[in-house]
Structure 1
Amino acid sequence: MFLSVDLMVPSFICVFIYFLYDIVKNRKKTSFFRKIVFASFLVYLCVIWHLTIGRINIPPQAEYSGADIQLIPFYFMIDWAQMYQESGIDWFFWNSVKLTFYNVLLLIPFGAYLAVLWRTITFKQAVVLSFLASLTIESLQLVLSATGLIMVRTFDVDDLILNTLGGAVAFCVSAAVCRALGNKKAIQTKGF
């Protein structure tokens, strides 16, 4: 017998406590809007954990342990071609396309938060941070899967590429919006 623990609710409680603490402790140091944006960033990180890692098995389950690694870049395109040849445009094909699109979407908010919350970040730094965030997610999936703490998940180089792309595009769009609004202090775009 084992317990499968979802950390979503405890994470939200911790974010709420932090938010209240930040309001009381740093009342005059930062604006209330910035505090709300940062708290929403923390909630976003909790949601990312929930979507990519999910429930933790206590104790670890040997039957769930395993390491699935895909290191061929742009393999999702080969996958699409094979699915299309086998059965045309059916549910499985569109599900694969949808999951690929979700990998781009996953770090779009991350890129936007980088531009809004950290005002001196450059485009290159945003790309590196998006890549590191994606690498952290993929590495956690690999390690937790191998130990049986979560169901088997795949370490996929395509996820790294697509997640990083999503973060970089969002950073660019956020930089353009900040510039259009005339908030030059909101973002530094050296190297952009």
Structure 2
Amino acid sequence: MKLFDEQANLQEPFQKIVKGLTVCYTIAICLMCFLPQSIYPTLKSVETPGVQHFGRITAILTPFNTLVHFGKIPNLVDLIFIILQNVANIFLIFPLVFALCLLKPSIRYFKKVLLISFLMSLSIETTQVILDLLFNFNRVFEVDDLITNTLGGVLAYLLYQLVRRVTT
């Protein structure tokens, strides 16, 4: 059985499987992004340089903050932790955007994926600010998250294009 039909649409039963996985992953994103930061186990408290506090709102508004404040990172362990956070953010919405490309022909355009990825990321970051204002969830609004999440969406689109070419 082929993965795609002649119009490059995902065939059954693959469509049902991807839809189910998409629902599960969307729930996982909500749990990762919207629960209080304090419930997650941490190795140690890492304070990323460039953090700004606006009352209960914590933000990092400097684009490419890790590079800009590289010299202020106190040790190698903190540097690795900060880099891994950025890498994880690249892959946060990657599976969701990839699934949307598989399921929705109308978004299979670079500009649409770029916009959708950015808006998903902006929605996550904005919701985290609102949760911090309402419940003090200790979340951080980061410009770099907008950049890395959007990059992840673009990479998902490129992977979709590659998979489609290879399998059709």
**Change beyond 3 A, Cα 1:160–1:69:** same
Residue identity opposite 1:125 in structure 2: K
User: What is the TM-score of this pair, normalised by structure 1?
Assistant: 0.67
Q: Which runs of 5+ in 2 are unaligned?
A: 1-10, 38-54
**Alignment root-mean-square deviation, CA:** 1.9
- Give the Å deviation of 1:114: 2.1
Where does residue 88 of structure 2 map in the other structure? 102
1:81 corresponds to 2:62: no
Partner of residue 59 from structure 2, selected from 69, 87, 90: 69
**Kept in 2: contact 1:111–1:130 (CA 8 A):** yes
CA displacement 1:44-83 (0-9 Å, x = unmatched): 0100011111259xxxxxxxx8111222211121233321
Where does residue 151 of structure 1 map in the other structure? 137
**Kept in 1: contact 2:58–2:139 (CA 8 A):** yes
What is the correspondence of 1:112-127 to structure 2 with a 5 Å cutoff?
112-121=98-107, 122-127=109-114
**Kept in 2: contact 1:134–1:159 (CA 8 A):** yes
Counterpart-to-counterpart distance in 2, 1:93 and 1:71: 19
User: What is the TM-score of this pair, normalised by structure 2?
Assistant: 0.76
- Give the Å deviation of 1:31: 3.1
Where does residue 3 of structure 2 map in the other structure? none
**Kept in 2: contact 1:107–1:130 (CA 8 A):** yes
Q: Which runs of 5+ in 1 are unaligned?
A: 1-29, 57-64, 183-192
CA displacement 1:122-179 (0-9 Å, x = unmatched): 111011101111011001100001111x522111111000000011011111112112
Where does residue 51 of structure 1 map in the other structure? 32
**Kept in 2: contact 1:72–1:157 (CA 8 A):** yes
Q: Which has the larger radius of gyration?
A: 1
Residue identity opposite 2:131 in structure 1: L
Identity of aligned residues (%): 29
Where does residue 13 of structure 2 map in the other structure? 32
Partner of residue 138 from structure 1, selected from 100, 125, 149: 125
- After superposing on structure 2, the runs of 4+ consecutive aligned residues of structure 1 that deviate more than 3 Å are none
**Change beyond 3 A, Cα 1:102–1:53:** same
Where does residue 45 of structure 2 map in the other structure? none
**Kept in 1: contact 2:36–2:138 (CA 8 A):** no
Counterpart-to-counterpart distance in 1, 2:70 and 2:83: 7
Where does residue 148 of structure 2 map in the other structure? 162
